[in-house]
Chains A and B, each alone.
Chain A
Amino acid sequence: MSDLLAARAQMGTSLAFHIIFASLGVGLPLLMCIAEGLALRRKDPVWMALTRRWARASAILFAIGAVSGTILSFELGLLWPTWIKFAGAVVGPAFAFEGFAFFLEAIFLGLYLYGWDRLSPRAHWLCSFPIWISGLASAWFIVSTNSWMNSPAGFVIKNGQVTNIDPLQAMFNPSTPYETTHMILACYVATGFAVAAVYGWSMLRGKRDSYHRKALMLGLALGAIAIPLQIVSGDANARFLATSQPAKLAAMEGLFHTTSGAPLEIGGLADPNTGKVYFAIEIPKGLSFLATFNPNATIRGLDSFPANDRPNPLPVHTSFDGMVASGFFALLVGWLFWLIYFLRKRKVPENRLLLIGIVLAGPLSFLAIELGWMVTELGRQPWVIYGYLRTADAVTTAPWLNISFLVFSFIYVILAIALIFFLLRLARTPLPKMEWAEVATGKSLAQDQGIAV
């Protein structure tokens, strides 16, 4: 593998791994906040048991998120020193602010996870607010830096030097509102459906009690509220790309030639060698209509860009369609659930097929996040800072990148195996008796370690 490819592979693997934990880090604290609030308000042992269970899972998930995030912050320099010199100079403050948000998150997470016996119930619950709020803030800051890579702003290049830097303008670059909204909603969609999937799976295996139903409903409530907003936001994103990054849009839609009344290609393989999309369902004038509301509008194709400025449409188009399909599947499942729920006078539907759909929607929502990032990142190639710095020019001169990629891949595999092992074991621990006194003073993490606090 060439050094450039090895570096990209390592960065891609790291991001693909980290994004799972980052998304859960944004979504899960909100669910815990709601569940604990409900538990305290209604003195409901089931909600309390759920909160405590989620908190224990979070302890592992967030730790893995913290270490995989550390890998990324190092890799920004270790793999892309030229990029970080540029990006750090212009949009660095956004990274620094994200650092603060993450810091607050870690502090209150420590209080939340280990403070069950040391804080009053209300103080404990209040600690969940800074966690999800700073989770939200860190997602915003970090995605704003990615937005800047897509639509660089807040600087001028003079004689090869970056000057007139305005970091706030860089942070609030044209892509920021679109990308940040899309990613934050994605966190809620994915977390909601993932939680629903976990409990849907248990219900399929016969555990149909109030504990599982409540968890399922909370997950699907979050998911079903966030997913239509997400689809609207995605649509706005694509429309924005038509003017901001037409090459990316062309790759996403598999549009090789600039066309008036461009059709929408659904599915299929966009082969850059032949310039054709194979096996796709074609909707005439669909793309022109979606992108501009005018069915006859002209949309720029890949051929309007120099050959060495074109992204590869094959993975971009496929990833894009995969993301959209996953999103619509989740929408269908989520809304069907609530439709039946309200039609049946608030009785939780436990239809087998629907439960299977819910179990599928969980992993598919995370797949959608991964594919969405593939679209953003691969669709921006060959640029790392769009129009200013090519990925090939940003990579480090250090050798042994193949070995580095192998070592880190190995670490991710080990971490994933251990994580799954511990989560499964946690899932298998028997539930407490569902009585308020029992659950509200249940074992905490600290007690689990065998120490009287």
Chain B
Amino acid sequence: MALPYIMLTILWLALIAYAVLGGADFGAGVWDLLYVGNKDISRRRHEFINHALGPVWEANHVWLIFLIVGLFTAFPTVFSTLSIVLFLPFTLALIGIVLRGAAFVFRVYGTRSDKYGALIWGGVFSFASAITPFILGASAAAVASGRIQVSSVNIQADMTGATWLTPFAIVIGLMAVALCAVLSSVYLSVEAEQAGDTELEQLFRLRAIIAGAITAVLGALGLILSSSEATLLWRGMLAHALPVVIVTMIVGLATAAALFTRHYRIARVLVIVETAGLLGSWGISQLPYLIPPSMTVEGAANSPGVLQVLLVGTIIGMALLLPSLYYLFSVFKLPYPAPGKEPAAANNDSLRYNKD
């Protein structure tokens, strides 16, 4: 495989990682926004989400940074062009990302002692969590639709939404929000089951199924709209991306089946595959273009020398990163105890240290 395509694959995998990790964090906020009802469950769900996100959200968020720097290193003109054309949606998404991250820590700190602080920052957190994936999804749709012309000398910012507020873009934006909601409710079902909280488990399961159905409907709608609004994507979906599209649809159904039968761990794996399939089919179907209809992968790639350095650095970086990431999730997300620690000794750290 040519160097630009290797780098593109790495970036796309990072995009998938951001979607399945960061996306789920967004989804958790979406559920906060939608929930009204029993106070006790609401509080428990709230704290459950804080607990699930606390240790990992910052690491999840870094995938986005990696994506941006990777993009402007491997494909400088693509990042530069998108930054101009999509100035407004990117700025809005950025504001959403910033407010969400800050609001989350503030909310965690405000939970116990400060009612109004928790309320305000909780509101900001959930609102920003819903808006941001919508804008990111709509921006992705703007790229896929082929409406971003880069052949002209003077690239102009699209401040009116001609590229990123089309019916197609709106549908894809909504689909992104729904997908985040699915991801988070599936993960939270697993964690609620582990914690032995049946009530929350039921709550998240039901939500996962509903949001999954909505995602499927929006996905179908997006596909239909793409036949007229994003013709290049549509043709790709029916041609070289067809196998991925079919697998993605089957996996979607399998996810629903796993949730119905309460096989949450299987559902978690499946929903990750599903997300990878959705993003993968988008990427594959618009090949060889990065920004259709004029900017190709090869044409936009940085010089081979830089890509080589970047690739070597990425391999070294991943060799450090992936085990660390596994360690992080093994400590906070896997059921078995972390390395270097017997579960029974949880409250005897000091005593254990004395024996050392």
Contacts and interface: CB of A to CB of B under 8 A. Distances in A.
A397 B353 contact: no
A445 B69 contact: no
A306 B12 CA distance: 47
A396 B70 contact: no
Contact of B54 (A100, A103, A114): A114
B80 A88 contact: yes
Contact of A81 (B50, B80, B104, B306): B80
Interface residues of B, number: 88
Interface string A104-116: 1011111101110
Contacts of A422: 106, 109-110
Contacts of B73: 88-89, 92-93, 95-96
B94 A74 contact: yes
B98 A70 contact: yes
Given A63-B102, A92-B69, A104-B324, A440 B54 contact: no
B239 interface: no
Interface string B68-82: 111011101101111
B238 to A, nearest CB: 33
Contacts of A78: 83, 87, 90-91, 94
A92 B341 contact: no
Given A63-B104, A63-B105, A399 B157 contact: yes
A371 B350 CA distance: 45
A115 B328 CA distance: 9
Contacts of A108: 324, 328
A404 B92 CA distance: 10
B55 A114 contact: yes
B37 interface: no
A422 B54 CA distance: 17
A82 interface: yes
Contact of A104 (B74, B320, B339): B320
A437 B112 CA distance: 25
Contacts of B327: 107, 111
Contacts of A450: 47, 111-112
A14 B156 CA distance: 25
A389 interface: no
A115 B340 CA distance: 12
Contacts of B54: 110, 114, 445-446, 449
Interface stretch (B57-65, B255-263, B278-286, B291-299): B57-65
Contact of A111 (B48, B309, B328): B328
Interface stretch (A160-168, A191-199, A224-232, A271-279): A160-168
Contact of A110 (B56, B306, B349): B56
Contacts of A408: 95
A193 B90 CA distance: 38
Contacts of B88: 398, 400
B347 interface: yes
A62 B81 CA distance: 31
Given A67-B98, A109-B58, 14 more contacts: A59-B105, A63-B101, A66-B62, A67-B101, A70-B65, A70-B98, A77-B68, A92-B76, A98-B69, A163-B303, A165-B306, A166-B305, A398-B157, A418-B102
In the A-B complex, the 8 residue pairs with the smallest Cβ-Cβ separation, listed nearest first, are A92-B73, A77-B83, A100-B317, A398-B157, A88-B72, A398-B87, A88-B76, A114-B55
Interface of B: 47-48, 50-51, 54-56, 58-59, 61-62, 64-66, 68-70, 72-74, 76-77, 79-84, 87-88, 90-91, 94-95, 97-99, 101-102, 104-106, 108-114, 117, 121, 154-157, 159, 302-303, 305-306, 309-310, 313-314, 317, 320-321, 324-325, 327-328, 331-332, 337-341, 345-350, 352-354, 356
30 contacts: A43-B353, A60-B106, A60-B109, A63-B58, A63-B104, A64-B102, A64-B105, A68-B98, A73-B69, A74-B83, A77-B83, A78-B91, A81-B83, A85-B79, A95-B69, A96-B310, A102-B65, A103-B317, A106-B58, A111-B328, A117-B347, A167-B309, A396-B84, A398-B87, A398-B88, A400-B159, A437-B350, A441-B347, A449-B54, A451-B51
